[in-house]
Amino acid sequence: MTTQTSNIAQTTGQFYIDGRWQSPARSTTLSVINPATEEIIAEVAQGSSQDVDRAVAAARAAFPNWAATPVADRALIVGKIHELMLERKEALAQVLCLEMGAAIGFARSMQVPLAAEHVRVARDVLTSYHFQHVENGTAIVREPIGVCGLITPWNWPLYQITAKVAPAIAAGCTVVLKPSELSPLSALLFAQLVHDAGLPAGVFNLVNGGGAEVGAAMAVHPEIDMISITGSNRAGALVAQAAATTVKRVTQELGGKSPNILLPDADFAKAVPPGVMSAFRNVGQSCSAPTRMIVPRNRLAEVEALAAATANAIIVGDPLSEETVLGPIANEAQFKRVQAMIEAGLDEGAKLLCGGPGRVAGFEKGFYTRPTVFSHVSTGMRIAQEEIFGPVLCIIPYDTVDEAVAIANDTVYGLGAHVQGQDLDQARAVAARIRAGQVLLNYPAWNPMAPFGGYKRSGNGREYGVHGFEEYLEIKAIVGFE
């Protein structure tokens, strides 16, 4: 464990408010559980509405000066945050491994570097963005919206923090962050990192705690101008309802049940294995995971064999091991949810190809879940409709491409989707018919500039790149400008 990781103990009982670590209004704490051992690894302070009030007051006081700070100066500090993230990447990876069970190799190769990319992109967008242009004598000006309340989840803790904090502060906003109470340790490291980068006092503030108190206090707060939340549909709806009383902007990135359509001309040997791995990435704990593989009925047996072979080869184990591909589910409540959904698949008559209920063999403790693949899934089954958020893949057969599209759209969600096919024109045509905020063709490289967000109950608003940056800006028209 690195020195920076061990130093978390110095700040777990405090919040970062107005440029310094401060004691909470009360002494209650929340336990942080290592999902690999089920042991308590830290106690973090549990915030209250009083702590939110202090953080919001600091952010409000800092906003005028930060919003007026020249673009070059803001970009310099955001760039320093990026630099420090890369310098401290091992400490960040170790903490992610401990607090939510990310395999150390995955934390090093994905969780941390992709989080750092959000910071780099925010800096680059800021330096090239035109905050004002003139149309027919009217100046169209974009200005920072104000104080932003940011609520982030436990499954990609650092990644989701940077996806919100970086564009918000780059745009000139000040922020109050509430990380998930289930994986808050990486947020503490990030807060210290932001401090060390020289961000002015009050621009970034952190209050730990549960959604029922801290999140709710942020949502109703009259001095918060915008809420951005990534989380469950239930949490997103509650925040939106609470925020409505002050008519603040609310952006939400919520659940998903993403389809992966394999068109008849796809190269199945190349399309199925990465489809399985995409569904199981981060132990399936990704809202955009393509957990519904929609395949031609006449190729079903071939797909089943490829999918089962891929899933059975996945190494599940100690997240600190270099060989581990998938660590444990991040927390006990989610482990129980995944187990219940696997049982539901069996009860509904889906064909179990591999995996199934119970812990991985050899692990008496830890929330280790067997990579599970179901076939002969019908679109009406619970496992095809509900977000499982674990390593569970549903294979659904189709007879025509029109049916495949109908199955893909047969969900209350609309966050992500995949289409595989060698005829790119056909793949593009199918992508155009899918009701989702982001469609990926033939497993392209991750693009941090591509806007990410949902249709339907997957939320509203967009993150990443220019579109994510603009969520933190208001539009002003100055008529008669010239």
Can you give the three-state secondary structure of 358-392, one letter per residue?
CECCCCCCCCCECCEEEECCCCCCHHHHCCCCCCE
* CB within 8 Å of 126: residues ≥ 6 apart: 71, 74, 75, 78, 170, 171, 469
**281 and 223: one domain?**
no
Sign, Cα dihedral of 154, 157, 163, 166: positive
The predicted structure's pLDDT at residue 332: 97
Active site residues: 253, 287
Q: Which amino acid, one-letter code, is at 417? A: A
Q: Residues 267, 443: contact at Cβ < 8 Å?
A: no
Work out whether strand 473-478 and strand 138-144 pair parallel, antiparallel, or are unpaired.
Answer: antiparallel
* C-alpha to C-alpha distances, 340 to 196, 256, 276, 347, 374, nearest whole angstrom: 44, 18, 21, 10, 14
Q: Which two tokens stand for residue 164?
A: 């919100």
**227 and 361: one domain?**
no
Residue 129 lies in a domain: yes
**31 and 165: one domain?**
yes
Residue 453 lies in a domain: no
The predicted structure's pLDDT at residue 7: 56
Per-residue pLDDT of the chain (482 residues; tens, 9 = 90+): 454 555 566 678 999 999 999 999 999 999 999 999 999 999 999 999 999 999 999 999 999 999 999 999 999 999 999 999 999 999 999 999 999 999 999 999 999 999 999 999 999 999 999 999 999 999 999 999 999 999 999 999 999 999 999 999 999 999 999 999 999 999 999 999 999 999 999 999 999 999 999 999 999 999 999 999 999 999 999 999 999 999 999 999 999 999 999 999 999 999 999 999 999 999 999 999 999 999 999 999 999 999 999 999 999 999 999 999 999 999 999 999 999 999 999 999 999 999 999 999 999 999 999 999 999 999 999 999 999 999 999 999 999 999 999 999 999 999 999 999 999 999 999 999 999 999 999 999 999 999 999 999 999 999 999 999 999 999 999 999 98
Q: Please, which residues bridge with residue 295 across strands?
A: 397
Q: Residues 271, 295: contact at Cβ < 8 Å?
A: no
Helix (H, G, I), strand (E, B) or coil at 59: helix
Residue 452 lies in a domain: no
Sign, Cα dihedral of 198, 201, 204, 205: positive
Residue 408 lies in a domain: yes
Residue 187 belongs to domain spanning: 3-254+458-478
3-state helix, strand, coil in the chain (%, to 5): 45, 20, 35
Q: What whole-number distance in Å separates Cα of residue 239 and Cα of residue 242? A: 5
**65 and 195: one domain?**
yes
Residue 233 lies in a domain: yes
Q: What whole-number distance in Å separates Cα of residue 369 and Cα of residue 356? A: 9
**440 and 465: one domain?**
no
Residue 9 lies in a domain: yes
* CB within 8 Å of 239: residues ≥ 6 apart: 151, 211, 215, 216, 219, 227, 229, 250, 252
Q: What whole-number distance in Å separates Cα of residue 375 and Cα of residue 306? A: 12
Burial status of residue 435 (CB atoms within 10 A of its CB: 0-12, 13-18, 19 or more): middle
- Alpha-carbon 162 to chain mean position: 10
Work out whether strand 459-460 and strand 249-253 pair parallel, antiparallel, or are unpaired.
Answer: antiparallel
Q: What whole-number distance in Å separates Cα of residue 309 and Cα of residue 314? A: 9
**355 and 371: one domain?**
yes
**407 and 424: one domain?**
yes
Backbone angles phi, psi at 408, to 5 degrees: -55, -40
Q: Which two tokens stand for residue 145?
A: 């919206």
**225 and 362: one domain?**
no
The predicted structure's pLDDT at residue 482: 87
Instruction: Please report, in angstroms and rounded to a whole number, the separation of the first and last CA atoms in the chain.
Output: 61
Q: Residues 259, 379: contact at Cβ < 8 Å?
A: no
**196 and 278: one domain?**
no
- 403: CATH: 3.40.309.10
- 232: CATH: 3.40.605.10
Helix (H, G, I), strand (E, B) or coil at 131: coil
The predicted structure's pLDDT at residue 3: 47
Q: What whole-number distance in Å separates Cα of residue 80 and Cα of residue 131? A: 23
Residue 182 lies in a domain: yes
Q: What whole-number distance in Å separates Cα of residue 449 and Cα of residue 463? A: 9
**332 and 234: one domain?**
no
The predicted structure's pLDDT at residue 11: 73
Count CB atoms within 10 A of the CB of residue 134: 12
Q: Which two tokens stand for residue 8?
A: 């978390």
**161 and 128: one domain?**
yes
Residue 27 lies in a domain: yes
The predicted structure's pLDDT at residue 327: 98
**415 and 438: one domain?**
yes
Q: What whole-number distance in Å separates Cα of residue 40 and Cα of residue 31? A: 6
Domains held by the chain: number: 2
